Chain A
Amino acid sequence: MEPVVHLRAAVALLGRFPALAGIDLDVARGEIVLLRGPNGAGKTTLLRACAGLVPVVRGEAVVLGHDLRVDPRPVRRNVGLLGHATGLFDDLTVADNVRFWGRACHADPADIAAALALVGLDGRLRDVAVGRLSAGQRRRTSLACLLARRPALWLLDEPHAGLDQDTRDQLDALIGRAVRQGATVLLASHELDRAESLAHRVVELAGGTTAPTRGAAPADGSAPPAPTHRAPAAPPPEVSHVA
């Protein structure tokens, strides 16, 4: 079956900085893959590149069957990104926010109501302005926006940060539920204990590359010469390491 995410020697720039300097990654449908690596390793940029928000300038990049190098826009409707920035409007209520982003991508009104219920925001908090919420409650609102979209690919950037124990359990349950319904999840997290137990496998990131655990250099000719690459030649790191 065609992988949901297929990246080969993918390079992406933030301004002049090559945040991604050669990513090899394949994610199959229904997988939960954890991206692990130090700060600045390129985890956030990788998630944003998969969402079609950061252009891939070299290498291959196919997500959900759409070639991102041809046009990154069609993939966007089908992914859900939960990032550091919430994308919410402080002056609007929780319900208004979720309804706006839900309706923006033609979500079913029933899905929007269900999403609010799933994250436990259908009670008193429903009509509170987002600007008055705690960080954890905002994140739950963002999660409701994501749920309402019913994305095929979930891209979660530090989803556990700022959440209390109960909400983390709730989030993990939601991720599990989405995967059972056929979604694919790519997440970056520092909560390694929790994330590793959730993930099917772990991919290491460092210096904007998928660090090859068994030692690897890109086998195909599309990769640029990398004189300082520390790794010796070896097979491509399609599955770098199974948790």
Chain B
Amino acid sequence: MTSPTSTTVSGTPSGDGRAAHTPAAAAPGTPGHTGSRASRVLGILALGSIVLLVLYGLVWSPADAEMADSVRLMYIHVPAASFMYTGCFITAVASAMWLRRRTPGWDALAGASAEVALVFAAITLGTGSLWGRPTWGTYWTWDARLTSTALLTTLLVGYLALRRLDVDPTARSTRAAVLGLLLVPNVIIVNRSVEWWRSLHQRSTLVKLDPTIEGQMLVALMVGFLAIGLVFTWLLVHRFRVAWLEYQSERLDLDLALAERRAEAGRTTGAGEAPA
């Protein structure tokens, strides 16, 4: 994974060493992308594991005794849910690190991870309700996991909505970091309280969602974790690099801005003093 600690260019570069590269060096039009050798290897591994997942999940593993073939949705659903939580956790850690270090890499990682987590939240909800239809006879049931996933999705949507606001970047990063840091306690509380709430009423559905997993099914689930995990990492790496590019493209070239600002003095002092 990319290491955000190496990206310690601050929003207000200290001047000396960085003054050398003028914005003309931005070389607009230079083709480029967010790929690297490592991310390409990761991508190939991810694609390979997806092929393996299709084979294990759809062909080689048997149908469940009780749920028949609908159990095959589990090989996506459960790993996607896990990596949705992983994404939230990364966002919270990166937010905490941003509050400590104030380096833009951590802010970029927090935002990237929340967005990827939202994609996996959508997959979790979609596969969950598609799985629920044949199992429970309804697309939506107030099952603890579905409900807390839905609430978590709204938490992520709110976090990303705050990040998208067009306001002063430092203010936005500060607010987003506090909100991102609160994500983990919020997720835990929402999860636990919903679980507790639902378990008072319908213990049975919970059991029904947990088929006895063994043999080929267990292998398929493990392959699911591997494939979804690789896809998650690949997406996170690329989304992080996009966020980094966004930061760089908006980054203030302080020396250029200062030169422009000082040039105003030449234009205005002559005219501006007249009304005195």
**Are A229 and B169 within 8 A (Cβ)?**
no
Q: Is B168 an interface residue (CB 8 A)?
A: yes
**Are B272 and A192 within 8 A (Cβ)?**
no
Contact among A21, A36, A37 with B258 in the assembled complex (CB-CB below 8 Å):
A21
Q: Is A41 an interface residue (CB 8 A)?
A: yes
Instruction: List B contacts of A192 (CB < 8 A).
Output: 276
**Number of B residues, CB within 8 Å of A:** 28
Task: Tell me the B223-276 residues at the A interface (CB within 8 Å).
Answer: 250, 252, 254-255, 257-269, 271-273, 276
- Contact string, B57-89, partner A, CB cutoff 8 A, digits 1/0? 000000000000000000000000000000000
- Contact string, A67-96, partner B, CB cutoff 8 A, digits 1/0? 000000000000000000000000000000
Instruction: List B contacts of A208 (CB < 8 A).
Output: 261-262, 264-265
Q: Is B12 an interface residue (CB 8 A)?
A: yes
How far, in whole Å, are A227 and B19 apart by their CA atoms in the complex? 11
Task: Tell me the A5-57 residues at the B interface (CB within 8 Å).
Answer: 11, 13, 15-19, 21-22, 36-38, 40-41, 57
Instruction: List B contacts of A57 (CB < 8 A).
Output: 12, 254
Q: Is B15 an interface residue (CB 8 A)?
A: yes
Instruction: List B contacts of A11 (CB < 8 A).
Output: 254, 258
Task: Tell me the A203-228 residues at the B interface (CB within 8 Å).
Answer: 204, 206-209, 211, 224-228
How far, in whole Å, are A22 and B262 apart by their CA atoms in the complex? 8
Q: Is A124 an interface residue (CB 8 A)?
A: no
Q: Contacts A58-B15, A224-B19, A225-B19 given: A204-B269 contact, CB under 8 Å?
A: yes
Nearest A residue to B271, CB-CB: A38
How far, in whole Å, are A228 and B266 apart by their CA atoms in the complex? 9
**Are B265 and A211 within 8 A (Cβ)?**
yes
Instruction: List A contacts of B250 (CB < 8 A).
Output: 16
Instruction: List A contacts of B12 (CB < 8 A).
Output: 13, 57-58
How far, in whole Å, are A19 and B272 apart by their CA atoms in the complex? 17
Q: Contacts A21-B261, A37-B272 given: A225-B266 contact, CB under 8 Å?
A: no
- Contact string, B177-196, partner A, CB cutoff 8 A, digits 1/0? 00000000000000000000
Instruction: List B contacts of A15 (CB < 8 A).
Output: 168-170
**Are A207 and B255 within 8 A (Cβ)?**
no
How far, in whole Å, are A40 and B261 apart by their CA atoms in the complex? 10
Instruction: List A contacts of B168 (CB < 8 A).
Output: 15
**Are B266 and A230 within 8 A (Cβ)?**
yes
Instruction: List A contacts of B14 (CB < 8 A).
Output: 58
Whole-angstrom distance from the CB of B55 to the nearest CB of chain A?
52
How far, in whole Å, are A11 and B257 apart by their CA atoms in the complex? 11
Instruction: List A contacts of B252 (CB < 8 A).
Output: 13, 16
How far, in whole Å, are A209 and B259 apart by their CA atoms in the complex? 11
Whole-angstrom distance from the CB of B179 to the nearest CB of chain A?
21
Task: Tell me the B15-37 residues at the A interface (CB within 8 Å).
Answer: 15, 19
How far, in whole Å, are A43 and B266 apart by their CA atoms in the complex? 17
Nearest B residue to A14, CB-CB: B168
How far, in whole Å, are A18 and B257 apart by their CA atoms in the complex? 7
How far, in whole Å, are A13 and B170 apart by their CA atoms in the complex? 11
Instruction: List A contacts of B258 (CB < 8 A).
Output: 11, 18, 21-22, 224, 226
**Are A206 and B272 within 8 A (Cβ)?**
yes
6 nearest A-B pairs in the assembled complex, by CB-CB distance: A38-B272, A207-B265, A207-B264, A206-B265, A21-B261, A230-B266
A-B contact pairs, 26 of them (CB 8 A): A13-B12, A15-B169, A15-B170, A16-B257, A17-B257, A17-B261, A18-B254, A21-B261, A22-B262, A36-B276, A38-B268, A38-B269, A41-B268, A58-B14, A206-B268, A207-B263, A207-B265, A207-B268, A208-B264, A211-B269, A224-B15, A224-B19, A226-B258, A228-B262, A229-B259, A230-B262
6 further interface pairs, Cβ-Cβ under 8 Å (given A15-B170, A16-B257): A17-B261, A206-B265, A209-B265, A211-B265, A224-B255, A226-B262
